[in-house]
Amino acid sequence: MAEIIPTISQVKSEALEIFQKEFGKDADVCVFAPGRVNLIGEHTDYNEGFVLPMALPMVTMIVGKLNGKSTCTIVSTSKSITTISKIEFEVSDRSKVVPGEPKWANYVKGCIAFFPADVSGFDAVIVSTVPMGSGLSSSAALEVATYTFIEALTGVECKDLRDKALICQKAEHQFANVPCGIMDQFISVMGQQGHALLLDCRDLSVTQIPMDGIDNYAFLITNSNAPHKLSSSAFQERRDAFSHVINENSRTLAATAAFKAGDYVKVGELMNESHDSLRDNYEVSSNELDTLVNTARKVAGVLGSRLTGAGFGGCTITFLKKDSVDLVIKAINESYSGTASFYIATPSEGARKLDCK
């Protein structure tokens, strides 16, 4: 069975309840930002190429309230964090907002440090349904949710969504020390329900690509539960492997055209070629990912399957007829030596503020 993904309103209720328990008062600001899955265009974003991600129904929710102090207190809880983690740090004097321990707080601190206005003390609770370290970009979801939260708290909103995404990326580069591309923050900020986002990383232009024709088809994410290591040295070395990148760019544009034309067989072929190139030319696949992809491809009704995200573990995405979802899950459960989890990815909306009701 694919995992049941809690709805936005369920995640919100949970976060509001935890806030009330932790701080003994009601939150008056509530925001979320989604994780993402990349349909095609892998390792192209930091090479000034094209990517085609969509926002996921799995989100990072932040609720909170100003506290009248110079410090903030943030509690994070997530399916992937078994114990609640709590941090407190100075925010009013931004020269004191610097990276440190615990590491997860650096994603939050970076967004505060680079926010274009002063931030007063606040209390907040973070609840996330985005699996962490699986290539579905819980890191960008955390950054973009943090930025959106501070926008709501201060009333200072970014006029150009590109700037918002770029500041979140800067937080990940400089505070978390991860040399990520720009795709994750862009889609988490700009995602639209029912659409994928074609992003040209050369000039940061974006085109919303409607996905409403795919009613009889589904995107099945399979998490290998073998965590990826984004800051590993292998990833850095492969930043020079351009031949993959040139062909991957052509595939991404061809897949966008095929989605628009309703040529889903072509989309699937391009996804397969993308994986094969990531495995053979860019060398970022793993035995686990290859097993998941090969098993899915053998099932009738599967149009294409590839690793998604940076590689070295993490997830695969399979484009298939809806009727075939259970067959693929069964085939993987029978042949995969690890324990996989499964999510149906529907193209969802980007970050926004919600009512606290």
* Residues forming the active site: 184
Phi, psi of 297, deg, nearest 5:
-60, -25
Nearer to ligand ADP (CB atom), residue 176 or residue 201: 176
Of 37, 53, 52, 50, the C-alpha closest to 247 is: 50
Q: Which span sits near ligand ADP by CB under 6 A: 15-23, 128-136, 269-277, 345-353? A: 128-136
Nearer to Mg ion (CB atom), residue 72 or residue 310: 310
Q: Residue 308 corresponds to which amino acid? A: T
Q: Residue 312 interacts with ligand ADP (CB under 6 A)?
A: no
Nearer to Mg ion (CB atom), residue 152 or residue 171: 171
Q: Residue 107 interacts with ligand ADP (CB under 6 A)?
A: yes
192, interface contact from Mg ion, ligand ADP, none, CB < 5-8 Å by kind: none
CA dist., res. 180 & res. 145, Å (int): 17
73, interface contact from ligand ADP, Mg ion, none, CB < 5-8 Å by kind: none
Q: Which span sits near Mg ion by CB under 5 A: 132-140, 199-207, 216-224, 261-269? A: 132-140
CA dist., res. 139 & res. 187, Å (int): 13
Nearer to ligand ADP (CB atom), residue 105 or residue 153: 105
State both tokens at 160: 């150009």
Of 120, 64, 124, 114, the C-alpha closest to 92 is: 120
CA dist., res. 202 & res. 49, Å (int): 6
Nearer to ligand ADP (CB atom), residue 60 or residue 318: 60
DSSP state of 318: E
Query: Nearest approach, Cβ of 55 to ligand ADP (angstroms)?
Result: 14
Q: Residue 315 interacts with ligand ADP (CB under 6 A)?
A: no
CA dist., res. 64 & res. 356, Å (int): 10
Nearer to Mg ion (CB atom), residue 64 or residue 135: 135
**Residue 65 burial (CB < 10 Å; 0-12/13-18/19+)?**
middle
CA dist., res. 93 & res. 131, Å (int): 33
Contacts of 237 (CB under 8 A, 6+ apart): none
Provide the mask over 131-150, with x wherever binding to ligand ADP is found by CB under 6 A and - wherever it is not: -xxxxxxxx--x--------
Query: Nearest approach, Cβ of 75 to ligand ADP (angstroms)?
Result: 10
The one among 77, 106, 128, 139 contacting Mg ion by CB under 5 A: 139
Instruction: Please work out the total of residues on this chain that contact ligand ADP, with binding judged by CB under 6 A.
Output: 20
H or E element, residue 151: helix 138-154
Q: Which span sits near Mg ion by CB under 5 A: 11-19, 72-80, 130-138, 345-353? A: 130-138
Report DSSP letters for 247-267, one per residue: HHHHHHHHHHHHHHHT-HHHH
The one among 61, 74, 187, 230 contacting ligand ADP by CB under 6 A: 230
Instruction: Please work out the total of residues on this chain that contact Mg ion, with binding judged by CB under 5 A.
Output: 2
Query: ∠ CA(29), CA(32), CA(37), 5° rounding?
Result: 175
CA dist., res. 85 & res. 102, Å (int): 9
Query: Nearest approach, Cβ of 100 to ligand ADP (angstroms)?
Result: 13
The site for ligand ADP (CB under 6 A) is made up of 60, 76, 78, 103-104, 107, 126, 128, 132-139, 142, 178, 230, 309
The site for Mg ion (CB under 5 A) is made up of 137, 139
